[in-house]
Structure 1
């Protein structure tokens, strides 16, 4: 009987150890990912920029900052929802920190433009940084101050408390590398080619280069 009880206790103890290890692993996994939410005009472009950055795990296009629940693309770009086209950047802080992400973000947009970004005009295309917690707020404030000092111009990008983030429709995700054939003003094009034409014609990289010069992290990479 003693031997049987000892075996039972051993099995229970092993089970508790496994559960504890799994819980610790889960916590470690959660701690290895941080999410920053930013708005930089067309979310296709911001997604394209950051998905190639080492340490970035995923970038999701979506809508945030407004008052309408579960908005769609037409509602947001049509105005009146208060939402921005935005992205959530999921990254590993052990490989790249929030200061680096935010510095790169500021130098990938025109933060002096309050009316939109490049050829895309209207409230949904404005820039913004949405913080979650004091540490992100401090990092955003620092990034904005450094950008303002480097440019010698007033930065209009607001720093806002994070709100509900609504992922955009499936066809917007990874649009820049899509293979679907679509009809555009340039004629029938694969999504990836249409995206490149759009980005060039919108003047995004040209304007960013004018503003930031060699500090622009993504110019020439598309």
Structure 2
């Protein structure tokens, strides 16, 4: 039976590839969630006035990859100490959020966040929010699979994130 996960971790272009390459993943869709505007456009979301975050919706097979595994992978793509965006992407629409779809996902996310805080990996508090999922709106088609369609532009956008991951997660 397929399940859903929704994560916001800055620019959605950079959040697709790590999940897309995992076994048990059916799809990873870039989109918007958490705001108050129906069917927002990229241009609207980037103004920071819609309340939406750029996010990815992951459809996965829990028999192959667990939600807990996805949360652990999520942490390794983000700076969980930065509440005001991620890397070069600044603003509320880039804030890190784990959106849960049920109480089990909420519990897994909260336990994982607590374990990360207690691990001492970061000197600063873990500020990633854990919020109930709202309607997920897929982004425009030109945003889907961006890393495959525009590898050089993706690499430029991903550079700061990749450096952070290497320094903080690849130890």
The structure with the largest alpha-carbon Rg is 1
Matching residue within 82, 85, 90 for 2:59: 90
Matching residue within 70, 85, 89 for 1:120: 89
How far off its partner does 1:114 sit? Answer: 1.1
Comparing both structures, which one devotes a greater share of its residues to helix?
A: 1
How far off its partner does 1:198 sit? Answer: 2.3
Q: Which of structure 1's runs of 4+ aligned residues deviate more than 6 A?
A: none
Any stretches of 5+ residues in structure 1 without a counterpart?
1-31, 179-190, 215-222
2:156 — aligned with what?
A: 197
Q: Aligned Cα RMSD in Å? A: 1.1
1:49 — aligned with what?
A: 18
Figure out how many residues of one structure are paired with residues of the other and give that number: 169
Any stretches of 5+ residues in structure 2 without a counterpart?
none
2:8 — aligned with what?
A: 39
1:76 — aligned with what?
A: 45
Is 1:175 the counterpart of 2:146? The answer is: yes
Q: Is the 8 A contact 1:79 1:124 kept in 2?
A: yes
> Relative CO higher for 1 or 2, CA cutoff 8 Å, sep ≥ 6?
2
Whole-Å separation in 1 of the counterparts to 2:101 and 2:60: 14
How far off its partner does 1:55 sit? Answer: 1.1
For residue 160 of structure 1, give the secondary structure of its aligned residue in structure 2: strand
Deviations 1:33-85 (A, max 9, x none): 11000001010111111100111111000000010100000110111111000
Is 1:105 the counterpart of 2:74? The answer is: yes
Whole-Å separation in 1 of the counterparts to 2:43 and 2:133: 22
With normalisation by structure 2, the TM-score equals 0.95
For residue 170 of structure 2, give the secondary structure of its aligned residue in structure 1: helix
For residue 78 of structure 1, give the secondary structure of its aligned residue in structure 2: coil
Q: Is the 8 A contact 1:112 1:155 kept in 2?
A: yes
Whole-Å separation in 2 of the counterparts to 1:212 and 1:197: 20
Whole-Å separation in 1 of the counterparts to 2:167 and 2:83: 17
Matching residue within 193, 203, 208 for 2:165: 208
